[in-house]
Amino acid sequence: MDKNKKYGLRINRRDLLKWGGAVLVGSGANLTPRPVFSDDTQTAPPCEVPEVVFEPCSGGDAIEVYPTSPLIGGYVDGAGVVRGSVFTDPLIVPPALRPVPISAFGSNPAGPAIGWQSSLGTTHQIWTSDLRLPDPICYRIQLLVRQHYFTSLKALPIDATGNPTIPPRSTNWNPRYLPGSTIYGFNGTFPGPMINALYGYPVLVRFENHLNENPFNLDRNDFGDPLYRFLTHLHNGHTAPESDGNPHATPTGFRPGQYTDNLYLNYPAGNDDREKQAFLWFHDHYEGHTGANVYKGLVGLYPIYDPKLDPGNENDTSNPYNLRLPGVRTDNGDGSFDVAYDIPLAFYDCRLDDGVTQHKDFHNGCGETHPEWWGQTYFRHFPDHGFVGDIFTVNGKAYPVLEVKRRKYRFRLLDASIARAYKFVLMSSTGGPKVAPGVQGQYQLPDGQQSMRFTQIASEGGLLPFPIVRDSFELWPSRRKEVVIDFTRYMDGSPTTKGDEVYLVDILEMPDGRKPDDSSGYRVPVLKFVIGDLAADNSRVPDKLRDLPPIDFTTIDSLPHKSFELQRGGGLDNFFADPVSRIRVVDQRQAVQRVHAARVPAAGKTRSVDGQERRRRLDPSDALPSGGAPDHQKEWCGHHSGQAVRPRRRLRQGRHDLARPGRRGRDLPEFPNVHRQLRGALPQPGARRSLDDVRLEARRPERHNLAVDNP
């Protein structure tokens, strides 16, 4: 049976106080959702009425102790020495998710009519036709309870010192296969599906909550939202709030049996080509459990291409604007497409329960241990130190290997970790990886030497103005970077040969969620590339990529300025300190920020520097010329002749429209500090978020530390 069923659907003290105990208890019947999935699909059974349970030790101080994960690939040799070997599992390269016909939604249609946006009766405030865009391509994603295996190798039980240990409920320390870890997955996988999107061609994704179903009787462990709610957020997407996973727009989230249609317009901010992005991701955004739900598997990928500059096809020479970045595109005939040699890499670190580490944080736990969960994912909400793992994975596999052709590749890197930052270098090694039991990362590359360089072409804001050759680069939680690696030659100019091995190595040591260190000699091989045969390569990396929107520095000093002083300390009194001081721009190449103001409470909510979000209302006059929807899009999703559609409410005029579009969050190689500090220097006085104001997150990148519940 479901191991959590004996507790019912629990609400701990933290959530009860946050929502208001009297309101919650007094309206308990309202917490039972009605299944609303289509009649022609498997209908979710009704949820149990949640039982309000105060766990005896919830709240208070967390026990911030990490378990030591079993050593993947580890064993003890005849001399009693711990050995290990990894890099045998192939890297999983996700294919593009395929669209569904509109009939897949059954009796709950998708469209612009009033009440059609979700099972809560909400309405899309803007539809594709308002921007003269074609009807959206439709996708269906179900949130499912499933198992995930991080490795196919056996693992050696070890203690914190790296020595073999006998795990609970066992009589020996022999290597053994790890149990599957329970995940909440988009379509039941980790990472979830990848949607290859294209600017000018909107996408509608129906997210259905099936998390109350447990067909394989899996143990859910003790993290993730206890009521199985979700909100899906397209990170940095230019998206209206009802489709944005905005906890202010949908504070209750979506419960089991409910759905939401997230409309991703794939429309650049201000209809400005310079605002186009390149690699987004979608993840859970539910208030209070963002970190836990993401760690439990709710991660999906969303590369977005530009049909003009970056269509994903290096072989298209008919388009004079095509940058011809690495990638060979195959259209699937249904609006989706796959791109070879263009590979996403989602980095995620985790810990596996050792069965003896106590469980207690601000969500639940009394300091108990769970020997029955040995080898399964362990998570705690550690507000003081953050949560970092000792096993590093790429696309859901620990220490995978990718065979590459002798040509250029484009890699889109995402840090999907809760708190860990990475600093990557490409290294070659004579001796190969060496086991490092009890050390984060489990393996080291002690004789590794840099042998190749990266050419960075994009960040979370989109293509850079020009490529940057880098020896290394850092990647922080929720951030993305895109690089090109040329596997035909090494940095000294010598050619590669078939069978050569190159490692992607993390050199940023991070024992907890606080400040990392790149000076310790720490070298964790995360991914192994094996050079294969020579392949055709019509790609290039041009000297010029995409222009940035100009910044008018003459107006900066005349605008309101806010800044915050971040200090250690606790208590709510610190949180309400008045912000003081300002940010002052000295000239076009230097911005000086004097930081003062509100302190962060110990339990850990973060606040953005600007305090308010800049946004500009989407205006139909900004529409892209579309020429109508392609036939395959009309066939798959959207309006049909003769379909009766109720009129939608009209968009109210935005009261605080900006005169010009905002700036993309993007690396500025000439003066990188300016753009980062100006993000917080342009608030809109009096601007208020409402359901009728379209939120434009593409203006600036989100810098999340998912260790904090919901930044």
Q: What is the mean pLDDT of residues 551-580?
A: 67
Angle at 505 between CA 294 and CA 68, to 5 degrees: 55
Q: What is the mean pLDDT of residues 628-635?
A: 37
**pLDDT value for 564:** 81
The answer to whether position 526 is within a domain reads no
Q: Which residue has the higher pLDDT, 1 or 465?
A: 465
The answer to whether position 19 is within a domain reads yes
Residue that terminates a domain, selected from 292, 310, 340: 340
- Examine the domain organization and report whether 221 and 332 are in the same domain: yes
Report which secondary-structure segment, H or E, holds 572. helix 572-575
Burial of 700 (0-12, 13-18, 19+ CB in 10 A): buried
Is pLDDT of 59 > 60?
A: no
Based on its alpha-carbon atoms, the radius of gyration of the chain, rounded to whole angstroms, reads 25
Q: How confident is the model at residue 405 (pLDDT cuts 50, 70, 90)?
A: very high
Which CATH number fits the domain that encloses residue 103?
2.60.40.420
- Examine the domain organization and report whether 107 and 238 are in the same domain: yes
Sign of CA dihedral 436, 439, 441, 442: positive
What would the pLDDT profile of 131-144 be if each residue is shown by its tens digit?
A: 999 999 999 999 99
Domains identified in the chain, total number? 2
Beta bridge mates, 473: 424
Do 135 and 638 form a contact (C-beta atoms < 8 A)? Answer: yes
Residue that terminates a domain, selected from 309, 340, 371: 340
Q: What is the mean pLDDT of residues 87-98?
A: 97
**pLDDT value for 283:** 98
The answer to whether position 312 is within a domain reads yes
The answer to whether position 658 is within a domain reads no
Beta-carbon contacts of residue 515 (< 8 Å; ≥ 6 apart): none
Burial 231-250 (b: 16+ CB within 10 A, else e): bbbbbbbbbbbbbbbbbebb
**pLDDT value for 511:** 87
Q: Which residue has the higher pLDDT, 394 or 63?
A: 394
**pLDDT value for 70:** 98
Range with lowest mean pLDDT among 359-373, 413-427, 472-486: 359-373
**pLDDT value for 95:** 97
What would the pLDDT profile of 256-296 be if each residue is shown by its tens digit?
A: 999 999 999 999 999 999 999 999 999 999 988 999 999 99
What would the pLDDT profile of 378-393 be if each residue is shown by its tens digit?
A: 999 877 778 999 999 9
Residue that terminates a domain, selected from 340, 355, 379: 340
What would the pLDDT profile of 483-514 be if each residue is shown by its tens digit?
A: 999 999 999 999 999 999 999 999 999 988 88
- Examine the domain organization and report whether 114 and 224 are in the same domain: yes
* 3-state SS class at 503: strand
Q: Which residue has the higher pLDDT, 116 or 621?
A: 116
Beta bridge mates, 426: 452, 504
Beta strand segments in 27-123, E: 51-52, 71-72, 74-76, 82-84
Tokens of 461: 């804001």
- Examine the domain organization and report whether 187 and 107 are in the same domain: yes
The answer to whether position 430 is within a domain reads no
**pLDDT value for 51:** 39
**pLDDT value for 382:** 79
Q: What is the mean pLDDT of residues 120-125?
A: 96
- Examine the domain organization and report whether 302 and 188 are in the same domain: yes
Do 532 and 453 form a contact (C-beta atoms < 8 A)? Answer: no
- Examine the domain organization and report whether 13 and 142 are in the same domain: no
**pLDDT value for 370:** 96
**pLDDT value for 378:** 97
How far the first Cα of the chain sits from its last, in Å, is 35
- Examine the domain organization and report whether 187 and 323 are in the same domain: yes
Residue 34's domain comprises 5-52
- Examine the domain organization and report whether 234 and 293 are in the same domain: yes
Is pLDDT of 700 > 70?
A: no
- Examine the domain organization and report whether 137 and 283 are in the same domain: yes
The percentage of the chain sitting over the pLDDT mark of 90, rounded to a whole number, equals 63
Tokens of 242: 């009802």
**pLDDT value for 632:** 35
The answer to whether position 476 is within a domain reads no
**pLDDT value for 660:** 31
Range with lowest mean pLDDT among 29-33, 108-112, 440-444, 542-546: 29-33
- Examine the domain organization and report whether 268 and 331 are in the same domain: yes
Is pLDDT of 636 > 70?
A: no
Q: How confident is the model at residue 8 (pLDDT cuts 50, 70, 90)?
A: very low
Tokens of 415: 């840090």
Do 401 and 89 form a contact (C-beta atoms < 8 A)? Answer: yes
Is pLDDT of 171 > 60?
A: yes
Range with lowest mean pLDDT among 13-22, 261-270, 356-365: 13-22
What would the pLDDT profile of 581-631 be if each residue is shown by its tens digit?
A: 333 333 333 333 333 222 233 333 333 222 333 333 333 333 333 333 333
Is pLDDT of 176 > 60?
A: yes
The answer to whether position 677 is within a domain reads no
Q: What is the mean pLDDT of residues 313-338?
A: 97
- Across the chain, mean pLDDT equals 79
What would the pLDDT profile of 647-696 be if each residue is shown by its tens digit?
A: 343 333 332 222 233 333 333 333 333 333 333 333 333 333 332 333 33
Q: Which residue has the higher pLDDT, 419 or 558?
A: 419
Q: How confident is the model at residue 60 (pLDDT cuts 50, 70, 90)?
A: low
The model's pTM: 0.78
Return phi, psi of residue 412, to 5°: -110, 110
The answer to whether position 458 is within a domain reads no
- Examine the domain organization and report whether 220 and 109 are in the same domain: yes
Report which secondary-structure segment, H or E, holds 452. strand 449-452
What would the pLDDT profile of 471-489 be if each residue is shown by its tens digit?
A: 999 999 999 999 999 999 9
Position 274, amino acid: R
- Examine the domain organization and report whether 9 and 144 are in the same domain: no
